[in-house]
Amino acid sequence: AQEASSQMTLAIYQPGEIDQLAQRLSLESELRRAVEQEAFTLAYQPQLNLEQGRVVGVESLLRWQHPEKGWISPTVFIPLLEELGLIHHLGEWVMQHACWQLSQWQQQGVCSADQPLRMGINLSPMQFAQPDLAEQLVRAVSQHQIQPRQIKLEITESVAMQDPQASIALLHQLRELGFQIAIDDFGIGFSSLEYLLRFPLDSLKIDRAFVKDITRGRRDRAIIKSLTSLCQGLNIATIAEGVENQRQRDYVDALGVTEIQGYLLSQPLSADDFVAWWSAFQA
C-alpha cells in the first residue's frame, strides 16, 4: 500500500515540486520539534521617543535558530505555525517570555518607575481571532507581576480591518484590561484611515515602505505629515518603522513622528545585548 501511495505521489508532482514538498515537510517536522523543545528566543529592538530623547520601549521579535539552516525569518515560520495549528501554543510562550524578561529587567533595575520600559508583543492574524486571547495575556502579565499598560500589543492593519466591528469590540476589551494597542505596518490600506482611526488605539506604526524613500519622495512625506497631524489630534502616538539612517530620522522628526525604530538605533538584540546597548546609549 505504501508503494502504491508513493507512486501516486510521483504521478501528481513534478520533480521540482517534490523537492519543494520534501523541503517543506522537513521544515514542518523540524518546526514541530522546535515548538516541543521551545527552541525559540526573543530579540528586542529599541524604540526612541524623539521629543524626550529617551528609549521608551522595545519590540519583541521571535527568533528560531534552525540546527543547519541558521536563523529562519518569522515571516516564513509564523504562517507555517498558523497552518499547523501551533501558533496558539507558541504565541503563549512569547507572551510568557516577554513578560518574564520585563520582570527580570525590573528586578535588576534595568528599568523602573522612573525609567519605564514598554514591551511590544506581535499578534498574528489567527492569534487575534482566538477566543481566549485576553485570558492568555492576563495570565502572562499576572504571573510575572507586570502591569498590562507596560505591554503594547501589535496587530497589523489588514488583520484589524478583516472584521472591523469585531476588532473594535476586542480592542476595547483589551484596552479596558489596561493593554496598549498599536496598529502595525500601517499605510498599505491607506483608504481605510478614517475608519481605522475610530478604533481604540495608542499607537500607529508607519510601515517602513514610507520611510524608505522619504528623502526622495514628496508623496511619502505628505502622507506621513498628514498621519502625524491626524494622530496628534487624536492622542495617538506615531512610530516610524525601519529608520536606517540619520537623514530618514531627521525627516520623520521634522514631520512630527513621535518615536522611531530601526537599524539606525539598533538591530533587534538579545536581552543581554540590549541591556549593554541601552546603558551605552544613556552614557
Examine residue 244 and tell whether it contacts ligand C2E (CB under 6 A): yes
Q: At what angle do helices 87-107 and 271-282 cross, to 10 degrees?
A: 40
Examine residue 262 and tell whether it contacts ligand C2E (CB under 6 A): yes
CA 228 to chain centre: 21
Can you tell me which of 30, 92, 185, 220 binds Mg ion, judged by CB under 5 A? 185
Stretch that binds Mg ion, among 39-47, 107-115, 176-184, 270-278 (CB under 5 A): 176-184
Stretch that binds ligand C2E, among 74-82, 108-116, 135-143, 252-260 (CB under 6 A): 74-82
Q: Which is nearer to ligand C2E, 106 or 124 (CB)?
A: 124
Q: Round to whole Å and give the CA distance between 275 and 283.
A: 12
How do 118-122 and 203-206 pair as beta strands? unpaired
Torsion of CA 11, 14, 20, 21, to 10 degrees: -10
Examine residue 71 and tell whether it contacts ligand C2E (CB under 6 A): no
Examine residue 189 and tell whether it contacts ligand C2E (CB under 6 A): no
How do 54-66 and 70-72 pair as beta strands? antiparallel
Q: Which is nearer to Mg ion, 32 or 212 (CB)?
A: 212
Examine residue 259 and tell whether it contacts Mg ion (CB under 5 A): no
Q: Where are the beta strands (DSSP E) in the chain?
A: 40-49, 54-66, 70-72, 118-122, 151-156, 180-186, 203-206, 237-240, 259-260
In angstroms, what is the minimal distance from the CB of 154 to Mg ion? Answer: 4
Q: Which of 77, 97, 120 is nearest to 261 (CA)?
A: 120
Half-sphere exposure of 93 (CA within 13 A, CB side): 17
Stretch that binds ligand C2E, among 22-30, 46-54, 116-124, 222-230 (CB under 6 A): 116-124
- What is the per-residue binding string for Mg ion in 87-126, x denoting contact by CB under 5 A? -----------------------------------x----
Q: Round to whole Å and give the CA distance between 210 and 260.
A: 13
Examine residue 268 and tell whether it contacts ligand C2E (CB under 6 A): yes
Q: Round to whole Å and give the CA distance between 140 and 133.
A: 11
Stretch that binds Mg ion, among 46-54, 219-227, 234-242, 260-268 (CB under 5 A): 234-242
Q: Which is nearer to ligand C2E, 86 or 94 (CB)?
A: 94
End-to-end CA gap in the chain: 69
In angstroms, what is the minimal distance from the CB of 223 to Mg ion? Answer: 16
Stretch that binds ligand C2E, among 28-36, 57-65, 186-194, 196-204 (CB under 6 A): 57-65
The three cell numbers locating residue 17 = 515540486
The residue ranges that bind ligand C2E (CB under 6 A) are 45, 60-62, 73-75, 78, 94, 122-124, 127, 154, 184-185, 208, 242, 244, 262-263, 268
